[in-house]
Amino acid sequence: MPAQPIKPVFVSSSVSGKSITVSWVEPSYTGGISIIRYDLWIDNGSGEWPSTPISFIPSILGSTYQNIFTLLKAGGNYLVRVVAVNNVGSSIPSEVSYFVCADKPTAPLTPILESTTITSISIAWN
């Protein structure tokens, strides 16, 4: 059976797209045969795992893979883990990664000089 995969890492997320993109790498040991699929687990945002995983079948064998989880709740916190599967069996699940379905905030407006003294400067921004 394959070795335990390293936990998935954050690539991007989108509130408007209600999605999180994660990546993971092939386990260091595949059991001597190719990985046929990865079982991806994402909780429902409340810490409950689904009864069945999302099957990810690599179209091109490589060492790094990505998946986009969609139809998520904006601002929701999600747990994600990966299981590698070959023809012998399944690895133990990766460690869990925690992600938030959110966007980066926009940049603040340009700071405005409010006042100065000989020893200080006061600025404000929105």
Which pLDDT value is given to residue 94?
A: 97
Question: Could you give the C-alpha distances from 111 to 58, 66, 118, 126, in angstroms and in order?
Answer: 48, 39, 20, 8
Task: Indicate the pTM of the whole model.
Answer: 0.78
pLDDT tens-digit series, residues 56-73: 998 877 789 999 999 998
Q: What is the pLDDT of residues 75-106, one digit of tens each?
A: 889 999 999 999 999 999 999 999 988 887 78
b/e map 22-56, b = 16+ CB within 10 Å: bebebbeebbeeebeebbbbbbeeeeeeeeebeeb
Q: And the tokens for 82? A: 């990966």
What fold is seen in the domain 9-124? Immunoglobulin-like (2.60.40)
Q: Residue 126: helix, strand or coil by DSSP? A: coil
